[in-house]
Amino acid sequence: MPAPSRRSFLRGILAAGGAIGLGTGRRLLAADAVPQAGAAAEPEAGSDRDLWIQTLDRVSRPVLEHLAADRLRARMPVEAPAGGPDARRPFSHLEAFGRTVSGLAPWLEAFGETGAEAGRTAELVRRGIERATNPQAADFMNFRHGGQALVDTAFLSYGLVLAPTALWQPLGDDVKIRVGDALRSTRALTPGNNNWLLFSAMVEACLAKFGAQWQPEPIDRAVRSLDSWYKGDGIYGDGPEFHWDYYNSYVIQPFLTTILETMRPIDPRWKGYEARVAGRALRYAAVQERMIAPDGSFAPVGRSLTYRCGAFHHLAHQAWRGRLPAGLGAGQVRCALSAVIRRTLGAEDTFDADGWLRVGLCGAQPSLAETYISTGSLYLCLLAFHPLGLPRDDAFWNEPKADWTQRRAWSGRDLPADHALRET
């Protein structure tokens, strides 16, 4: 059967957009799916995976469809309440794409074959990579200028590392060369002495994974620095100092574990860090699950709260990898994450009239934006969807519904005491 033309392909995917209500600002979920403040979110079993896929599709579809059609710059708004749209416009489109790809990657790797559940989405992402790296395209992206370009080149690298067969291998040789050039161009950008070290390291790990020339120094600096910044009980400093925020989940722990796993078969020099990094990751996953309130909310503490459910990237990543702490059931984590997704992406005014995310944690809350936040930044929320890379028959999707820790605790039921991680 001949391949469809570019025009017929895009006509088909755009027509399919109406299935989930793209182009409306209405709630994604039923009116009773998002609890009022203080109410308890009922965990659901059978419908959870459907909810996740529908939400994933609604959030990612505007980014992917417009980029595949080479009109992302023309159509995506750049809402930047604090920094201003002109300051963020050079970065916002790569932010949206890189973060979307990194959230979708496990699902695409598992279900992205042609004709499979995620096959159409995988094709959109690959077309997006072609556009983003093509200097002749209207949507050619900024990989070279300004520190933010390093951040989101790293998120794109993360997605490629997590989905090599769905995203990297099918690319044409010319596109692979352009991607490699884009990644290497970030070497001219100096990372800050904080979680940004992991961005340079992720870029190099991606180059190494796909057989390109790579540099060990950024990886070595990141791994050693994070180890020296460990504060205890599963938490790293973001730099030498500790910050009350969710950056251990947004970036630090998932990136660190992925970099070490990627480099293990390529260069063994960092093997000695893996066991303690894994132990800390288990403890932090346990802490993250305990942060989720009975109604799916969580403490609005620290920077970047407009990443919404992306605050639980680490817990989601650990669930996808099958690395949950002992005593923490997969069904329990599924219900907890589902509640967070409903709470943060199901509220009124989460999307604008054209389906783009708006700045906020629960609805539209522009005053939450730091100077670096714009529309593209918000797509980090998709990193909470990593468990979609698990098979449909996995325990994560099939264990009976179960209350998470705070629901048990605040309903008066007995539960085991919590204990800090002690490293010997």
- The ranges assigned to domains in the chain are 40-409
Instruction: Tell me which residue of 45, 138, 132 sits closest to 402, measured CA to CA.
Output: 45
pLDDT of residue 38: 38
Residue 400 has pLDDT above 60, yes or no: yes
If one compares 21 and 149, the residue with the highest pLDDT of the two is 149
Residue with tokens 């990297």: 168
Q: What does the buried/exposed string (b/e) look like for 120-153 if buried means 16 or more CB atoms within 10 Å of the residue's CB? A: bbbbbbbbbbbbbbbeeeebbbbbeeeebbbbbb
Instruction: Tell me which residue of 182, 184, 262 sits closest to 222, measured CA to CA.
Output: 262
pLDDT of residue 19: 33
Q: If DSSP codes are grouped into helix, strand and coil, which group holds residue 210?
A: coil
pLDDT of residue 47: 84
Query: How many CB atoms are closer than 10 A to CB 341?
Result: 25
Is residue 222 within 8 Å of 197, Cβ to Cβ? yes
The tokens describing 234, both together, are: 């599963």
DSSP assignment letter at 18? G
Instruction: Tell me which residue of 275, 229, 218 sits closest to 252, measured CA to CA.
Output: 229
Average pLDDT over residues 308-315: 98
Report the percentage of the chain scoring pLDDT > 70: 89
How big is the CA angle at 104 (ends 293 and 342), to the nearest 5 degrees?
25
pLDDT of residue 346: 97
> How far lies 422's CA from each of 29, 239, 276, 301, 408, in Å?
42, 22, 11, 26, 26
> How far lies 33's CA from each of 29, 38, 116, 388, 403, in Å?
6, 14, 29, 20, 16
> How far lies 236's CA from each of 220, 248, 284, 312, 328, in Å?
17, 7, 10, 16, 22
pLDDT of residue 31: 30
pLDDT of residue 323: 98
- Per-residue H/E/C for 293-326: CCCCCCCCCCCCHHHHHHHHHHHHHHHHHCCCCC
Residue 10 has pLDDT above 90, yes or no: no
424 confidence band (pLDDT: 50, 70, 90) = confident
Residue 12 has pLDDT above 50, yes or no: no
User: Residues 183-240: pLDDT tens digits?
Assistant: 999 999 999 999 999 999 999 999 999 999 999 999 999 999 999 999 999 999 999 9
Residue 34 has pLDDT above 50, yes or no: no
User: Residues 178-199: pLDDT tens digits?
Assistant: 999 999 999 999 999 999 999 9
CATH class given for the domain over 40-409: mainly alpha
pLDDT of residue 190: 97
For the chain, give the mean pLDDT: 91
9 confidence band (pLDDT: 50, 70, 90) = very low
**Helix boundaries (H) for 20-80:** 48-68, 72-75
- Alpha-carbon torsion 366, 371, 374, 379, what sign? negative
Residue 30 has pLDDT above 50, yes or no: no
The tokens describing 134, both together, are: 């093509």
Residue 421 has pLDDT above 50, yes or no: yes
pLDDT of residue 39: 41
Residue with tokens 């990194």: 102
Instruction: Tell me how far apart the alpha carbons of residues 32 and 39 are, in angstroms, rounded to a whole number.
Output: 11
User: Residues 340-399: pLDDT tens digits?
Assistant: 999 999 999 999 999 999 999 999 999 999 999 999 999 999 999 999 999 999 999 999
Is residue 63 within 8 Å of 375, Cβ to Cβ? no
Q: What does the buried/exposed string (b/e) look like for 184-216 if buried means 16 or more CB atoms within 10 Å of the residue's CB? A: bbbeebebeebbbbbbbbbbbbbbbbbebebee
Whole-prediction pTM: 0.90
Residue 21 has pLDDT above 80, yes or no: no
* 3-state percent helix, strand, coil for the chain, nearest multiple of 5: 60, 0, 40
252 confidence band (pLDDT: 50, 70, 90) = very high
